[in-house]
């Protein structure tokens, strides 16, 4: 077992988990390669949040079955992550293709599991209330942004969501481990730290709370920017708002999932807050942090959602004016409580509701972006445009993608630009400052 091809599906947490796995594999003497054809084993890091995500992975297993049949019968095929945990029994039906099924708490022993799986099928899906991987250094990917997992699992048990079942109970990594990891990432050249957790603002390690963690991240020498995702509205304390307002490097941006603006639906989802409480929190955040950019997650078509209840969500979307939103159609997930609530809408009806949310949000994002024209923004340069060679792209403090002419700035540089054009997705800027020397250390990757 010398070469592994690792493919990642799903959320940022999975990207961070793949970096953790990459670190474990490298320390175990295993090289990461970039195709299944060049590998002794393939490992899919999977997502179970919606049915569609699972179907993509099952389709991909068909590709590997073909490689096994035709060119490399000894190829070890593994499924890791949320789907491994969620579908362990069903996945074993694919036993002719699959050699390894490993859940989110089994990554510490990955080299050993892969070696064993070359001989006989292996399943490791035990959830571990204590595993945080806090002592393990991830092998981070390229770019200017380091994803730092500060918390694993989730205790909220929203009735539609499979995460507490696939990732287990909430666990926070200790502050000392996190400060060490963050310093290391910045010393490697990463300019931005993004703290990750399913309810990241409920992070606590016995002595410290999330406000302390934000202040510790802000104090890491050499860091340019700090962000976090996703906070839960019920865990947003005034201490955290004060830390955001006071810490210069904590960016004025919050992704604050709402899911629905109907109190009856929120209750049926077990979200633990009302729309009035969410709105009061938005007001507190906007008052404390001038220029704050806000985004959200919404689910269209939760079982039993009436036309009027959907209308409440659409009306609130227009009222609160998020900068952007991730909009989802409800997907029934086995094991969750909502799975037992009969669905009341057809797929087409759910799609129609989703499309109304998308249209309304698109218009608002466009209006907000048009309002940026003529204003200045600070952009952290990430790289060259994919389509247009002579363009650079990066993110503003508000986490908006900004495209600017290539004037030789390097990834990791901070540039001031004047916004001269906008679409609902992107801003276009012209530099207003002279290029500065890049960071003192080279960019990782």
Residues that bind ligand SAM (CB under 6 A): 11, 49-50, 160-161, 163, 198-199, 230, 232, 257, 259, 297, 299, 328, 330-331, 333
Residue 106 or residue 257: which is nearer to ligand SAM going by CB? 257
Nearest Cα to 115, choosing from 202, 21, 1, 191? 1
Q: Does 325 bind ligand SF4 (CB under 6 A)?
A: no
DSSP, res 399: S
Provide the 8-state DSSP code for 222: T
Asked if residues 176 and 209 have their Cβ atoms less than 8 Å apart, the reply is: no
Q: Which of 1, 80, 91, 158 binds ligand SF4 (CB under 6 A)?
A: 158
Tell me the C-alpha distance between 126 and 106, whole Å.
Answer: 7
Which H helix or E strand runs over 385? Answer: none
Nearer to ligand SAM, 123 or 296 (CB): 296
Interstrand relation of 426-431 and 414-422 (parallel, antiparallel or unpaired) = antiparallel
Q: Which of 68, 140, 191, 232 binds ligand SF4 (CB under 6 A)?
A: 232
Instruction: Give which of ligand SF4, ligand SAM, none residue 164 binds (C-beta under 5 to 8 Å, depending on kind).
Output: ligand SF4
Host H or E run for residue 306? none
Beta strand segments in 84-179, E:
100-102, 122-124, 145-149, 151-152, 171-172
Q: What, of ligand SAM, ligand SF4, none, does residue 354 touch, CB below 5 to 8 Å by kind?
A: none
Compute how many other C-beta atoms are within 10 angstroms of the C-beta atom of residue 161: 23
Report what 331 binds from ligand SAM, ligand SF4, none; CB cut-off 5-8 Å by kind.
Answer: ligand SAM
Measured from the CB atom, is 156 or 362 closer to ligand SF4?
Answer: 156
Q: Is 103 or 257 the residue whose CB approaches ligand SAM more closely? A: 257
> Given candidates 43, 163, 224, 282, which one binds ligand SF4 under the rule CB under 6 A?
163
Cα 349 from Cα 240, distance rounded (Å): 39
The terminus-to-terminus CA distance of the chain in angstroms comes to 25
Pairwise CA distance, residues 144 & 189, whole Å? 7
Best CA proximity match to 329, nearest among 308, 360, 356, 307: 356
As measured in angstroms, the least distance from the Cβ of 132 to ligand SF4 is: 17
Site residue total, ligand SF4 (CB under 6 A)? 10
Taking every pair of Cα atoms in the chain, the longest distance, rounded to a whole number of angstroms, is: 64
Q: Which stretch binds ligand SF4 (CB under 6 A): 85-93, 102-110, 150-158, 417-425?
A: 150-158
Taking the complex as a whole, how short is the minimal distance between the CB of residue 261 and ligand SAM, in angstroms? 13
When the beta carbons of 249 and 356 are compared against ligand SAM, the nearer one is 356
Nearer to ligand SF4, 335 or 376 (CB): 335
- Return the number of the residue (334 or 371) whose C-beta is nearest ligand SAM: 334
Within residues 266-295, the interface with ligand SF4 by CB under 6 A covers none
**In the numeric block, which tokens belong to residue 20?**
């953790």
Q: Find which of ligand SAM, ligand SF4, none residue 173 binds, CB within 5 to 8 Å per kind.
A: none
Which alpha helices (H) appear in 28-160, and where do they start and end?
A: 51-70, 82-86, 88-91, 110-117
CB of 229 to ligand SAM, least distance (A): 8
CB of 329 to ligand SAM, least distance (A): 6
The listed partner (ligand SAM, ligand SF4, none) that binds 313, CB under 5 to 8 Å by sort, is none
Instruction: Name which position in 45, 124, 198, 361 contacts ligand SF4 (CB under 6 A).
Output: 198
Gap between the Cα atoms of 303 and 159, Å rounded: 11
157: contact with ligand SF4 by CB under 6 A: yes
Whether residue 285 contacts residue 253, with contact meaning beta carbons closer than 8 Å, is answered with: no
Q: Which residues pair with 326 in a beta bridge?
A: 297
CA distances from 341 to 303, 337, 354, 358 (A): 6, 7, 20, 26
Closest to ligand SAM by CB, 132 or 230: 230
Q: Which of 164, 197, 252, 412 binds ligand SF4 (CB under 6 A)?
A: 164
Determine, following the binding rule CB under 6 A, whether residue 241 of this chain makes contact with ligand SF4.
no
What, of ligand SAM, ligand SF4, none, does residue 157 touch, CB below 5 to 8 Å by kind? Answer: ligand SF4
- CA pair distance 226, 249, nearest whole angstrom: 6
Q: Which two tokens stand for residue 147?
A: 């994803």
Residue 419 binds which one of ligand SAM, ligand SF4, none, with CB within 5 to 8 A depending on kind? none
- Among residues 141, 111, 155, the alpha carbon closest in space to that of 17 is found at 141
Residues of the shown chain interacting with ligand SF4 in the complex, contacts defined by CB under 6 A:
154, 156-158, 161, 163-164, 198-199, 232
């Amino acid at each position: 077992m010398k070469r592994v091809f690792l493919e990642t599906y799903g959320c940022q947490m999975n990207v961070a988990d793949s970096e953790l796995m990459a670190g474990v594999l490298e320390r175990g003497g295993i090289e990461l390669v970039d195709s299944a054809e060049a590998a002794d084993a393939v490992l899919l890091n999977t997502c179970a949040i919606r049915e569609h995500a699972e179907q993509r992975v099952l389709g991909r297993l068909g590709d590997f079955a073909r490689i096994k049949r035709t060119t490399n019968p000894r190829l070890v095929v593994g499924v890791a992550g949320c789907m491994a945990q969620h579908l362990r029994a069903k996945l074993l039906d694919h036993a002719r293709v699959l050699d390894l099924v490993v859940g989110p708490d089994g990554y510490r022993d990955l080299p050993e599991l892969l070696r064993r799986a070359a001989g006989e099928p292996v399943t490791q899906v035990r959830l571990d209330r204590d595993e945080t991987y806090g002592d393990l250094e991830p092998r981070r990917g390229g770019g200017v942004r380091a994803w730092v997992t500060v918390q694993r699992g989730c205790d909220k048990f929203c009735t539609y969501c499979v995460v507490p079942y696939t990732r287990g109970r909430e666990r926070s990594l200790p502050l000392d481990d996190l400060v060490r990891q963050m310093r290391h990432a910045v010393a490697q050249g990463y300019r931005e730290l993004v703290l990750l957790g399913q309810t990241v603002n409920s992070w606590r390690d016995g002595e410290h709370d999330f406000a302390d963690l934000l202040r510790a991240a802000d104090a890491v020498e050499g860091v340019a920017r700090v962000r976090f995702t996703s906070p839960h509205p019920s865990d947003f304390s005034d201490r955290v708002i004060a830390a955001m307002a006071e810490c210069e490097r904590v960016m004025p941006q919050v992704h604050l999932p709402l899911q629905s603006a109907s109190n009856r639906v929120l209750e049926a989802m077990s979200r633990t807050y009302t729309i009035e409480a969410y709105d009061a929190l938005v007001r507190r955040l906007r008052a404390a942090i001038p220029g704050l950019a806000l985004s959200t997650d919404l689910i269209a078509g939760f079982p039993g959602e009436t036309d009027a209840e959907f209308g409440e969500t659409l009306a609130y979307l227009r009222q609160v004016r998020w900068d952007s939103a991730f909009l989802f159609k409800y997907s029934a997930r086995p094991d969750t409580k909502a799975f037992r609530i009969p669905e009341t809408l057809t797929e087409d009806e759910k799609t129609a509701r989703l499309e109304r949310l998308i249209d309304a949000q698109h218009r608002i994002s466009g209006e907000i972006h048009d309002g940026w024209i003529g204003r200045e923004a600070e952009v952290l340069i990430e790289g060259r445009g994919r389509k247009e060679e002579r363009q650079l792209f990066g993110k503003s403090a508000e986490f908006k993608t900004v495209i600017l002419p290539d004037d030789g700035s390097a990834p990791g540089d901070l540039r001031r630009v004047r916004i001269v054009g906008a679409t609902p997705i992107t801003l276009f800027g012209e530099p207003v400052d002279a290029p500065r020397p890049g960071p003192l250390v080279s960019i990782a990757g």
